[in-house]
């Protein structure tokens, strides 16, 4: 039996010698490489915190002591040490382990912490709650990466933590010089000085925080010593641990781009991905097209928030290194800086994940849209992303952002439409534009059979029964719905508005000609495109009934994208069944109304024959 097989909770660590703890670290690394290579997931961040996590759980008593991880993608070792190693065979799969901390999985997890720069605020609140309630026998520990420290929220929290000298709170700064890619900016330079022993307590000391370090983040004994001293401080203290992302695996150590930050399933012996390529991704098409646009337009620059390669900006960065700006994990700053660039005569393209645009809503609304600045936003990973779980689904952007005056929103259905709509977005100079697309391959192009007033008609057959308004990448689903309802003798028209906001006025005329209108979108039904189209039809006096198909108003568990969509009732079969039932119900209502009309006519004729009416 290996040492790892004997660890069913953190209490076991206290029974192991220093040599056994080092051996356990090696076994955990081998376990991570084997399991995460098979499932995909965040490998590099977790290989870098093996010794740090062992030290934390050997010094602190979880769950009595609260351990918070920022971001949660570095919590795999924590899961292993808290008895969840057996769940790694289904990591990030439906019914299996989440890729982030999850209170539903274990009492050792407090929050589903997967958006960066938040743990210090959680920790400050927990420490204040203990002080308020007179609890003095436990510690609060926040593990935060140096990349997450580039986010403004982390500094807001640090400012307030420093204002509480009597509140025990341990901030473990996991300094590996990276978020996804190397950390940039003045704070990164300052940490380099601290690592070199040039700054003393540095900025942390100037804020009034106790500072311990730098300490070798791969030396368990040294870490234990620093953490014990931190626990005894009885006030806020920073432990500066220097780690190496991707440590112990040649594939991640040699990958200077991201150190194996998030990998697809791969062969652990070669580092090569397993499975077949499904064709170009939306992300890669965007990166190629933006680079082409940048070649033609010297005024175009790109902005990313610590996600250069994941958002497809690497080709442009290689071609025009001075025209791609990485602000770190600082979406709010990115958006208002984009407004400033626009004011200065530059056209910014802000590329971020759809789930992260929520963090910069106020800036988009007040700093960009209010001033009608021509800034283009490109939202990757829109709709259901699947295996990253509830926090990473991009299912709110079209609901949240449709309230923004003057913002034009496009949802391309395939790679060709992405290229077209991106070019149109960057060419628009009257205000902000937004282009959203999902994670994954573009699939085959779905050409329009006709175009009417800017609306692409993808399918038209049979009587004018149902008008299917398809949004973005669910065009394939919409076409399949049309096929299924056709087997029931119903005619269908499938259209793609391309620009979903504002609503194209031509939709009103199309809707009037059909018996039922449905909208199909991979966004929340609440406030989504369907809701906006319904409001538009009411405002224009269209009486045709409308049914919205989208994501329900709830957080969705992790799983494969197709499975999650099916679970939301967005399979072609489920949608088609509802369409057939609604039209059948409408026909029955019409028949009953006709029957009532016939009965009434009979009564009138009888009354007339008796001279009761003239």
Residue 271 lies in a domain: no
Residues 197 and 74 in one domain: yes
Residue 417 pLDDT:
98
Residue 601 lies in a domain: no
Residue 565 pLDDT:
86
Those residues whose C-beta lies under 8 Å from the C-beta of residue 526, and which sit 6 or more positions away, are 399, 553
Q: Is residue 587 very low, low, confident or very high in pLDDT (cuts 50, 70, 90)?
A: confident
Q: What are phi and psi of 520, to 5 degrees?
A: -130, 115
Residues 165 and 92 in one domain: yes
Residue 198 pLDDT:
82
Residues paired with residue 353 on neighbouring β-strands, in sequence order? 380
Residues 393 and 463 in one domain: no
End residue of a domain, out of 436, 465, 488:
436
Q: What are phi and psi of 513, to 5 degrees?
A: -85, -5
Tally of domains in the chain: 3
Residues 516 and 413 in one domain: no
Give the span between the Cα atoms of 439 and 421, in whole angstroms.
Answer: 17
Asked if residue 589 has pLDDT above 70, the reply is no
Give, rounded to a whole angstrom, the gap between the first and last alpha carbons of the chain: 101
Residue 602 pLDDT:
57
CATH number, residue 512 = 3.40.50.920
Residue 112 pLDDT:
85
Residue 457 lies in a domain: yes
DSSP-based three-state secondary structure for 128: helix
Residues 288 and 408 in one domain: yes
Residue 564 pLDDT:
85
Give tens-digit pLDDT for 192-248.
999 988 878 889 999 999 999 999 999 999 999 999 999 999 899 999 999 999 899
Asked if residue 583 has pLDDT above 60, the reply is yes
Residues 389 and 494 in one domain: no
CATH number, residue 323 = 3.40.50.970
Residue 225 pLDDT:
98
Residue 94 pLDDT:
84
Q: Is 147 annotated for ligand binding?
A: yes
Those residues whose C-beta lies under 8 Å from the C-beta of residue 448, and which sit 6 or more positions away, are 456, 457, 458, 496
Residues 78 and 217 in one domain: yes
End residue of a domain, out of 406, 436, 466:
436
Domain hosting residue 579, numbered range? 450-588
End residue of a domain, out of 436, 458, 487:
436
H or E segment to which residue 22 belongs = helix 18-39
Give the span between the Cα atoms of 554 and 549, in whole angstroms.
Answer: 14
Q: Is 249 annotated for ligand binding?
A: yes
Q: Is residue 556 very low, low, confident or very high in pLDDT (cuts 50, 70, 90)?
A: confident
Query: In angstroms, what is the C-alpha Rg of the chain?
Result: 28
The residue among 353, 382, 386, 381 whose CA lies nearest residue 557 is 386
- C-alpha distances (whole Å) from 54 to each of 182, 229, 311, 361, 444 are 25, 16, 34, 39, 48
Q: Is 299 annotated for ligand binding?
A: no
Residue 614 pLDDT:
47
Residues paired with residue 41 on neighbouring β-strands, in sequence order? 263
Give the span between the Cα atoms of 170 and 237, in whole angstroms.
Answer: 5
Average pLDDT over residues 27-50: 94
Residues 519, 499 contacting (CB under 8 angstroms): no
Lowest mean pLDDT among 69-78, 314-323, 550-559: 550-559
Residues 90 and 209 in one domain: yes
Residues 342 and 412 in one domain: yes
Residues paired with residue 155 on neighbouring β-strands, in sequence order? none
Active site residues: 245, 331, 359
**Above pLDDT 70, what percent of the chain?**
95
Residues paired with residue 549 on neighbouring β-strands, in sequence order? 520
Residue 183 pLDDT:
83
Residue 369 pLDDT:
98
Q: Is 115 annotated for ligand binding?
A: yes
Residue 559 pLDDT:
77
Count of Cβ atoms closer than 10 Å to residue 440 Cβ = 18
Q: Is 176 annotated for ligand binding?
A: yes
Average pLDDT over residues 418-444: 96
Helices (H), 280-414: 282-296, 314-319, 331-343, 354-357, 361-362, 397-401
Lowest mean pLDDT among 38-42, 342-346, 453-457: 38-42
Q: What are phi and psi of 382, to 5 degrees?
A: -80, 160
**Above pLDDT 90, what percent of the chain?**
75
Concatenated DSSP letters of 237-254: EEEEEE--TTTT-HHHHT
Residues 459 and 401 in one domain: no
Give tens-digit pLDDT for 104-144.
999 999 998 788 999 999 999 999 999 999 999 999 999 99
Give the span between the Cα atoms of 245 and 223, in whole angstroms.
Answer: 17
Average pLDDT over residues 274-287: 86
Pairing of strands 546-551, 516-524: parallel
Residue 355 lies in a domain: yes
Residue 600 lies in a domain: no
Residues paired with residue 181 on neighbouring β-strands, in sequence order? none
Give tens-digit pLDDT for 483-536.
999 999 999 999 999 999 999 999 999 999 999 999 999 999 999 999 999 999
Residues 114 and 235 in one domain: yes
Residues 400 and 479 in one domain: no
Lowest mean pLDDT among 85-94, 215-224, 574-583: 85-94
Those residues whose C-beta lies under 8 Å from the C-beta of residue 29, and which sit 6 or more positions away, are 47, 50, 247, 248, 249
Q: Is residue 391 very low, low, confident or very high in pLDDT (cuts 50, 70, 90)?
A: confident
Residue 45 lies in a domain: yes
Q: Is 114 annotated for ligand binding?
A: yes
Average pLDDT over residues 152-167: 90
Give tens-digit pLDDT for 314-367.
999 999 999 999 999 999 999 999 999 999 999 999 999 999 999 999 999 999
Concatenated DSSP letters of 448-473: -SEEETTEEEEEEESSS-EEEEE-GG
Residues 381, 439 contacting (CB under 8 angstroms): yes
Asked if residue 593 has pLDDT above 60, the reply is no
Residue 341 lies in a domain: yes
Give the span between the Cα atoms of 123 and 355, in whole angstroms.
Answer: 23
Residue 321 lies in a domain: yes
Q: How many residues does the chain have?
A: 614
């Amino acid at each position: 039996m290996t040492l790892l097989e004997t660890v069913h909770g953190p209490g076991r660590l206290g029974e192991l010698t220093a040599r056994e703890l080092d051996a356990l670290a090696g076994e955990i690394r081998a376990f991570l490489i084997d399991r995460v290579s098979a499932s995909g997931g965040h490998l590099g961040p977790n290989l870098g915190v093996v010794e740090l996590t062992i030290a934390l759980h050997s010094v602190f008593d979880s769950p009595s002591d609260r351990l918070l991880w920022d971001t949660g993608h570095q919590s795999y070792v924590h899961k292993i040490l808290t008895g969840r190693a057996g769940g790694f065979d289904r990591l990030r799969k439906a019914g299996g382990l989440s890729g982030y901390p999850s209170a539903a999985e274990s009492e050792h997890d407090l929050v589903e912490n997967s958006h960066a720069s938040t743990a210090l605020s959680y920790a400050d609140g927990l420490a204040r709650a203990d002080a308020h309630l007179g609890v003095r026998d436990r510690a609060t520990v926040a593990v935060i990466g140096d990349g997450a420290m580039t986010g403004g929220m982390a500094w807001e929290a640090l400012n307030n933590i420093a204002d509480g000298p009597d509140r025990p709170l341990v901030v473990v700064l996991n300094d590996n010089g990276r978020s996804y890619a190397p950390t940039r900016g003045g704070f990164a330079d300052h940490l380099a000085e601290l690592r070199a022993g040039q700054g003393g307590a540095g900025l942390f000391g100037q804020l009034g925080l106790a500072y311990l370090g730098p300490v070798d983040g791969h030396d368990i004994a040294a870490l234990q010593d620093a953490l014990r001293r931190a626990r005894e401080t009885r006030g806020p203290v920073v432990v500066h641990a220097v780690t190496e992302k991707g440590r112990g695996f040649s594939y991640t150590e040699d990958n200077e781009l991201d150190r194996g930050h998030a990998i697809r399933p791969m062969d652990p012996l070669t580092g090569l991905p397993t499975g077949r390529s499904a064709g170009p991704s939306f992300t890669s098409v965007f990166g190629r097209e933006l680079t082409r646009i940048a070649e033609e337009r010297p005024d175009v620059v790109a902005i990313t928030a610590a996600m250069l390669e994941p958002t497809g900006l690497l080709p442009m960065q290689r071609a025009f290194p001075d025209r791609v700006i990485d602000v770190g994990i600082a979406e709010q700053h990115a958006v208002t800086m984009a407004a400033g660039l626009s004011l200065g005569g530059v056209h910014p393209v802000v590329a971020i994940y759809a789930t992260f645009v929520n963090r910069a809503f106020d800036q988009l609304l007040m700093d960009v849209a209010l001033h009608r600045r021509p800034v283009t936003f490109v939202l990757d990973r829109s709709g259901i992303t699947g295996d990253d779980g509830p926090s990473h689904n991009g299912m709110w952007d079209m609901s949240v952002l449709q309230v923004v005056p003057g913002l034009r929103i496009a949802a391309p259905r395939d790679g060709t439409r992405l290229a077209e709509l991106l070019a149109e977005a960057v060419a628009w100079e009257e205000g902000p534009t937004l282009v959203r697309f999902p994670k994954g391959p573009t699939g085959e192009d779905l050409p329009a059979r006709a175009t009417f007033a800017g609306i692409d008609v993808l399918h038209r057959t049979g009587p004018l029964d149902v008008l299917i308004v398809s949004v973005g990448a669910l065009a394939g689903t919409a076409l399949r719905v049309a096929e299924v309802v056709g087997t029931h003798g119903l005619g269908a028209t499938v259209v793609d508005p391309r620009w979903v906001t504002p609503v194209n006025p031509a939709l009103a005329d199309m809707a009037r000609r059909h018996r039922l209108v449905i909208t199909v979108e991979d966004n929340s039904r609440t406030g989504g495109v369907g809701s906006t189209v319904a409001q538009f039809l009411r405002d224009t006096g269209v009486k045709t009934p409308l049914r919205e198909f989208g994501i329900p108003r709830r957080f969705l568990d992790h799983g494969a994208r197709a499975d999650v969509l099916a679970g939301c009732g967005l399979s072609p079969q489920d949608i088609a069944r509802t369409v057939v039932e609604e039209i059948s119900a409408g026909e029955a209502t019409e028949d009953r109304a006709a029957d009532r009309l016939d009965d009434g006519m009979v009564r009138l004729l009888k009354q007339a024959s008796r001279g009761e009416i003239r």
